[in-house]
Amino acid sequence: MALTFIFSLAVLLTLTLLTPLNSTKISRVDVLGWICNNGTVSDDEAYRRSYQINIDAIRDDMKHAKFGIHEHGDPPQKMYVLSQCVSDLLPDECNLCWSRATDLLSQCFPATGGWIHLDGCFVRADNYSFYLEPVSHQDTKICASDKEKAAEFKGLVTEVTKCIVETAPYSQGFSVAQRSIGDLKVYGLGICWRTLDDELCKLCLADGALSVSSCLPSKEGFALNAGCYLRYSNYTFFNERGLLSMSLTKGHMVNILGLSMVGVLAIAVGFWCGKCIYMRASPKKKKLKEKESQSICNNGSHLMSFKYSTLEKATDHFNESCKLGVGGYGEVFKGTLSDGREIAIKRLHISGKKPRDEIHNEIDVISRCQHKNLVLLLGCCFTNMNSFIVYEYLANTSLDHVLFNPEKKKELDWKKRRTIILGTAKGLEYLHEACKIIHRDIKASNVLLDLKYKPKISDFGLAKFYPEGGKDIIPSSSPSPSSIAGTLGYMAPEYISKGRLSNKIDAYSFGVLVLEITSGFRNNKFPSDNSLETLVTQVWKCFASDKLEEMIDKDMEEEIDKTEVKRVMLIGLLCTQESPRLRPTMSKVIQMVTSSTDFVLPTPTKPPFLHYSM
């Protein structure tokens, strides 16, 4: 019979006293991953000084708490630093690991920063506030070359990593676990950086667990993520003495065992409460019904409940200089929390049932679905007078502010535009396949860009869940104008005329967006003598007459691979075909964008409304 052990600190105290401690000295200063950013700073000397000032500032924190964050300098030379040791390290081991990591990371400069994962610690430096990032495009994994032949090994690894994902977020971001069948054993460890809340920690570890699962049947796997570290192995690699020292001082055996039993009871209660919260938040249990905003923010959700005074202070009393713009149902402000984290705050103006429903819907949808290409919802604040939604801050605001600005669009070279297209497709793929959600309003203003122009889909007020299998939702009668929601020019013809909902309506909107990104024109404001001409119809006409190159944005650099740009334009036309059945899924889009030119694309058929523009 299989035996399972879940090692919280309290459980491990008992097991450590009952079994011999591992006498093998495990080196924790081996470098697992080390990445330096591509960009560079203008003043290398000032940036290096900021790095040293930050390191000196967190030295004592690392010594006593094994964790530290600090920032120093003024933009663009401002630097943010985070460092943390794995919780099982003894203080001297942590100091040794941290010292080596900081020395090695300093070799990245004059790059804007980088990160380094050692087996026992992590250090990251960058020119923006990254503290709330659970995952990033730089995440990586390492798989051991030795393979495990036992058929049961994969199942044991899955159990161990699942256990860590479920326990670590609610155990101060750290957990170790063991699973065994006979002599076959698997050990695991997971840790999140302390800047992440429970839900972000769980998201990061779940991503790490998925990543290392592809290592199997390797005997060891390591996930090196932006916000966490996860490892499995076929031997005990964590430091039991270090774990013991985390909670014990000198005392009697009876006190130790007493603490252990209290810990066990606490875990049992925690699991029970966690299960209740999970069940209450389950998509199958929750329905998108009208309810009070505060209950949406608090009831069965991981979201933070911000104090009004916190948001007021973060925005200098909602000063006009902090206003980023006006979004759906409210103004958007940039805020800076006391710990230096930057946030975006939407001050809501709710009047009537429909706006309230859409806001509730957005909170409900986005709090369930988390992906590196979806905007991160942090929390809410509701008072008698005001209502706010708090998101992560994205430095480059929305795509439309850059793409359709004659000066700013020059910053969007082809590499950035391709990254935006691919990232948006990946975000939609996650919504469609993992969450069973149709966004219904994909457009340039709903794609936000971070400091590095990585895209994140936003504005989920119109999103809808659809049945398993993704079959069309067909209304029983002709749709009323009030039931059709979205933005004209981006809405699929079958949705406008018949109200038919499927993930192919998002594919259509995405196709329009692709053509806008590659051409630099707005679909609804395409310059033409024919008032019925749109960007989509014009691109198709150029394709049909073998003049597609004429539609490539002239503001992109001249050295671009025009063959690749035309190929991506072709993908945009495939997504905007009149027949929804012919439009590719987002998984297929990703395959087409990332494949070589040897992969032959289908020939697109005509888009809708073409005869009106002839």
CA distance 101 to 68: 14
| Residues near 222 by beta carbon (within 8 Å), at least 6 away in sequence | 32, 141, 142, 143, 212, 229, 230, 231
Tell me whether residue 441 is one of the annotated catalytic residues. Answer: yes
CA distance 565 to 177: 49
Taking residue 323's Cβ as centre, other Cβ atoms within 10 Å add up to 14
| Residues near 345 by beta carbon (within 8 Å), at least 6 away in sequence | 311, 314, 315, 332, 333, 334, 335, 388, 389, 390, 391
**Is there a contact between 127 and 191 (Cβ–Cβ < 8 Å)?**
no
454 is in an annotated binding site: no
CA distance 203 to 187: 21
Taking residue 66's Cβ as centre, other Cβ atoms within 10 Å add up to 25
DSSP class of residue 26 equals P
HEC sequence for 38-59: CCECCCHHHHHHHHHHHHHHHH
Expressed in percent and rounded to 5, the helix, strand and coil fractions of the chain are 40, 20, 40
**Is there a contact between 176 and 230 (Cβ–Cβ < 8 Å)?**
no
| Residues near 146 by beta carbon (within 8 Å), at least 6 away in sequence | 218, 219, 220
CA distance 16 to 349: 57
DSSP class of residue 479 equals P
| Residues near 557 by beta carbon (within 8 Å), at least 6 away in sequence | 413, 414
**Is there a contact between 360 and 406 (Cβ–Cβ < 8 Å)?**
no
CA distances from 8 to 94, 173, 191, 236, 264 (A): 20, 11, 12, 15, 8
CA distance 430 to 453: 20
φ, ψ at 502 (rounded to 5°): -155, 170
SS3 579: coil
**Edge-to-edge strand list for the sheet holding 377-382:** 304-305, 377-382, 387-392, 342-348, 330-336, 323-327
DSSP class of residue 312 equals H
- Among the listed residues 88, 139, 441, 553, the single catalytic one is 441
- Of 145, 135, 142, 128, nearest to 201 by C-alpha is 135
| Residues near 382 by beta carbon (within 8 Å), at least 6 away in sequence | 293, 294, 297, 388
Segment (H or E) for 494: helix 493-498
φ, ψ at 107 (rounded to 5°): -75, -10
Amino acid at site 394: L
DSSP class of residue 3 equals E
- Of 73, 76, 153, 82, nearest to 116 by C-alpha is 82
Annotated binding-site residue numbers for ATP:
346
Q: Provide the annotated binding site.
A: 346
**Catalytic positions:** 441
